[in-house]
Amino acid sequence: MSEKHAVTYELLKTDSRTKARRGVLHTPHGDIQTPVFMPVGTQATVKAMKPEAVAGLGHEGAHIILSNTYHLYLRPGHQLIKDMGGLHKFMNWHGAILTDSGGFQVFSLGKMRKISEEGVKFSSYIDGSKHFFTPELSIEVQNALGSDIIMAFDECAPWPADRRYVQDSLNLTTRWLKRCKAAHKDIERQSLFGIMQGGTYKDLRRESARQIVDLDLPGYAIGGLSVGEPAELMYEVLDDCVDELPKDKARYLMGVGTPDYLFEGVERGIDMFDCVLPTREARHGRAMTSHGKVNIKNARYERDESPLDPECDCYVCRNYSKAYLRHLFKSEEILSSMLLSEHNLHFLVKTMEDIRKSIEEDRFPEYKRIFYDKFGQF
């Protein structure tokens, strides 16, 4: 009666001097080389990107994206997507999909919600209508969407938060995780990842980790970090709590992030990352480059004929000048979002490819040094 998990992690190599890992995530929609950066496509679309462009990012392509339970539940509705053949078919994405549970939206849309043992009552940001989200409903929605990896419905505590609150929050998250696991039946089609909480209290993080690892899930996420706490504190907490997670399961640091966070996360043994930053900043006129950030709005680029990043070989950098990109942004042309999004995503996906290669060749610390020297502070 050994059921096969839909998603499994295979550890290929561990860096000799750090906790950095090189692995493969096997999913029903293909293998994912890790560490990996997952572009975010909240509303069943990576904003301003065609799926083909997402699939062509970097040199190897992006093979997994993140989408969102909360948003798709509200619009167009999970039943509709199920009727349309599931999320992959609906959005014409042939790679793997991870769906966030809606737990984070409870946190980020905090003004209009009420948390109880049973679940969360909240108002729709679209029309103000009242909804009640529970672990069972989150799983039901994610089952209907048909994503490869589904996330547990958790409570993400804010920072700062007092110890008592964080403790209660992590315990609630574990109780909800048990309900998620019980509600999720088809484990051969989709895999449920648990989420660790615990704020910035190391002992609470370890406690949360032990609780969720007990449930023997195919993967574990670290939630509730990068929510405003100082970077150094986050690194410290992350470094400590990762050791509590099993080596034969994928580890996902949720909502991260900036290039420097990616390196720090990988160094501490993280396999998966996602972040809205590259696409959101792109829409707001900011680019990530090998020499740091570029604000394309700046007047100094008015007559700059050079590409965003002289070391980048993406479609955008091969064909367009900063002067043109600035013009597109200032004119509020749609192509501005498209090109800057493509560049930013390419930059992170390509950086991850280089990180993977450096781990394979056991020179991750050296590569990190080189990257930081050029990139500077984000």
x-marked contacts with RNA along 242-271 as a string, rule CB under 7 A: ------------xxxxx--x----------
Neighbours of 347 (CB within 10 A): 26
Q: Which residue blocks in the chain are alpha helix, DSSP H?
A: 51-55, 69-74, 78-83, 87-91, 103-108, 135-145, 163-183, 202-213, 231-241, 259-267, 277-283, 315-319, 322-330, 334-360, 364-375
Choosing from 279, 289, 351, 358, the residue that interacts with RNA (CB under 7 A) is: 279
Residue type, 274: D
> From residue 268, how far is each of 140, 194, 259, 323, 345 by CA, in Å?
33, 19, 15, 39, 23
Please say which residue, 17 or 266, places its beta carbon nearer to RNA: 266
Choosing from 215, 295, 321, 362, the residue that interacts with RNA (CB under 7 A) is: 295
CA–CA gap between residue 378 and residue 263 (Å, rounded)? 12
Q: Which of residues 338-377 bind RNA (CB under 7 A)?
A: none
Options 8-16, 39-47, 115-123, 359-367: segment touching RNA (CB under 7 A): 39-47
- Contacts (Cβ under 8 Å, ≥6 apart) of 166: 157, 197, 198, 199, 201, 204
In the annotation, is 186 catalytic? no
Of 15, 271, 274, 309, the catalytic one is 274
x-marked contacts with RNA along 187-216 as a string, rule CB under 7 A: --------x---------------------
Choosing from 19, 121, 280, 363, the residue that interacts with RNA (CB under 7 A) is: 280
Neighbours of 254 (CB within 10 A): 26
Choosing from 223, 241, 263, 268, the residue that interacts with RNA (CB under 7 A) is: 223
217: contact with RNA by CB under 7 A: no
Choosing from 208, 337, 351, 358, the residue that interacts with RNA (CB under 7 A) is: 337
Choosing from 16, 79, 298, 319, the residue that interacts with RNA (CB under 7 A) is: 298
CA–CA gap between residue 223 and residue 209 (Å, rounded)? 11
> From residue 203, how far is each of 176, 194, 210, 240 by CA, in Å?
21, 18, 11, 9
Q: Which of residues 84-113 bind RNA (CB under 7 A)?
A: 100-101, 103-105, 107-109
To RNA, the closest distance from the beta carbon of 58 in angstroms equals: 17
Please say which residue, 210 or 297, places its beta carbon nearer to RNA: 297
Please say which residue, 9 or 104, places its beta carbon nearer to RNA: 104
Q: Which of the 8 DSSP states describes residue 164?
A: H
Helix (H, G, I), strand (E, B) or coil at 133: strand
Number of residues that bind RNA (CB under 7 A): 56
Of 100, 148, 154, 309, the catalytic one is 100
CA–CA gap between residue 323 and residue 296 (Å, rounded)? 8
Residue for token digits 């798709």?
72
Residue type, 201: Y
In the annotation, is 274 catalytic? yes
Choosing from 232, 305, 332, 373, the residue that interacts with RNA (CB under 7 A) is: 332
CA–CA gap between residue 338 and residue 336 (Å, rounded)? 5
Q: Which of the 8 DSSP states describes residue 40?
A: B
286: contact with RNA by CB under 7 A: yes
42: contact with RNA by CB under 7 A: yes
The catalytic residue positions are 100, 274
Q: Which residues bind RNA (CB under 7 A)?
A: 40-42, 46-47, 66, 68, 100-101, 103-105, 107-109, 125, 151-152, 154, 156, 195, 221, 223-224, 226-227, 231, 254-258, 261, 274-277, 279-281, 283-286, 293, 295, 297-300, 302, 330, 332, 334, 337, 378
